Amino acid sequence: MDKEIKKEIGGDERNRKIDSLESLGPYIVEQDNAKNFVYVSDIPQLCKDEPCMLGVDEAGRGPVLGPMVYGIAFCPLSKKDVLKTLGFADSKQLTEEKRDQIFDEMNRKDFAVESLGWAVEAISPNVISMNMLKRTKHSLNEVSMDSAIGLIHAAIEAGVNVAEVYVDTVGPPEKYQAKLKVIFPKFKITVAKKADSTYPIVSAASIAAKVTRDHALKVWKFRERPNEGENTFGSGYPGDPTTKNFLSEIDLVFGFPRLVRFSWSTAGNALEKKAYDVEFEEEIDAKASQKATYGSEKLSKYFSASKNENRKRNEYFRDRCLEHVVDL
C-alpha cells in the first residue's frame, strides 16, 4: 500500500467522515475510482490504552468487475462481548440488508464507537489489472498481502495497541503466517482458512470490506459512459447474467470501461472475440537514418538501434495503442 493514506483521524476537515451507512456512499463518490484509496476510522481511546485484537479480510477477490476491498477491524481484548452484541458473522452468509445494518450500528452506537475501529483499502480494478499484466508481474495474492500489511501498519501508526492479529488467508496459511510473523514479530498472529466464520473480529473486517465494495459499485461513475444508468452491470461475477450482458457491450476500438478488470480471462476472451485487432506501422528511427556530416559520424549512432534490427515496441504498448508523444 504505497499510495497516500487518507486518514479520518482527529477531525481532518479536508475529507468527508464516514460515521454511518448514509455517509459511506458520498465519501466514495469523492474518490477517483481509477486509483486506490484508504480510509481509517476514528480510533477509540480504549484501542490506544488496552491491548487489542485486529482482524483482516477482503471482499471482491473473484469478480471481473469493480474494486477488491481489504478491511481491518480492531477492538480491545476485553471487549469481545461488543462483537457478539453487534452480531458479527461471515459477511457472505448475511443478507445485504443485514450487513448494512451492522455496518451502520458499528458506526453509530455509542458502545460500538467507544471500543471498535476499522479501516479499508479499495483497490481499483485498473490497479489490479496493471499489476497483473505489467512486465514484472504482481499477482493478486501479492496485491492482497500488500494491502493487508499496509492496513495493519496504518492501524499501528494511528495508535492502535495491537496485540493479536487474525487473518483470512490467501494462499497457503502457513506461508502467509510466517511472512507476517517476520514483519510483526511482537504480535500473536493467526492466519487461517475461513477465518471470517471462526473469529468475530475477522467477521467485522469482512463486513467493513463487503459493505464498502457494495456501495462502491452502487455509486460507480463511468468516465467512458457518462450516460450509463445505475448498476447496469450486476454483481460483477462472471456467472451473473446481467454481468455477462454488460461484458458483451464492447467498444470495438477502446474495449471496456475501467470498471472491468481487463486482466481477467473472462474480459480478455470477450475482447479477442469482438474487438478490432489494431496494428501500427513500426516507427522509423530517424536518428539512425541520418547521414553524418562534415566527414564525421554522429555520436547518436552509437545509441540507436541497428538498421537491420527489426525491433518491435513492447507488447504492453502495442496492446494499448500507446506511442511516444513529442509535441502536445
Q: Cell 515496441 appears where?
A: 313
Helix, strand, coil percent content, the chain, rounded in steps of 5: 40, 15, 45
Strands in 6-7's sheet, in edge-to-edge order, are 6-7, 37-40, 117-123, 68-76, 52-59, 162-168, 188-192
For residues 75 and 46, what is the distance between their CA atoms, to the nearest angstrom?
Answer: 8
- Residues making up the chain, counted from first to last: 328
Contact call for residues 162 and 54 (beta carbons, < 8 A): yes
146 is in an annotated binding site: no
Contact call for residues 71 and 206 (beta carbons, < 8 A): yes
C-alpha cell at 218: 452502487
The contacts of residue 299 (CB under 8 Å, 6+ apart) are none
- Helical axes 265-274 vs 241-248, angle rounded to 10°: 40
Tally the C-alpha atoms within 13 A of residue 155's C-alpha that lie toward its C-beta.
33
100 is in an annotated binding site: no
For residues 179 and 289, what is the distance between their CA atoms, to the nearest angstrom?
Answer: 53
For residues 251 and 173, what is the distance between their CA atoms, to the nearest angstrom?
Answer: 41
57 is in an annotated binding site: yes
Tally the C-alpha atoms within 13 A of residue 286's C-alpha that lie toward its C-beta.
0
The amino acid at residue 169 is: T
Annotated binding site: which residue ranges? Answer: 57-58, 168
Annotated binding site for a divalent metal cation: which residue ranges? Answer: 57-58, 168
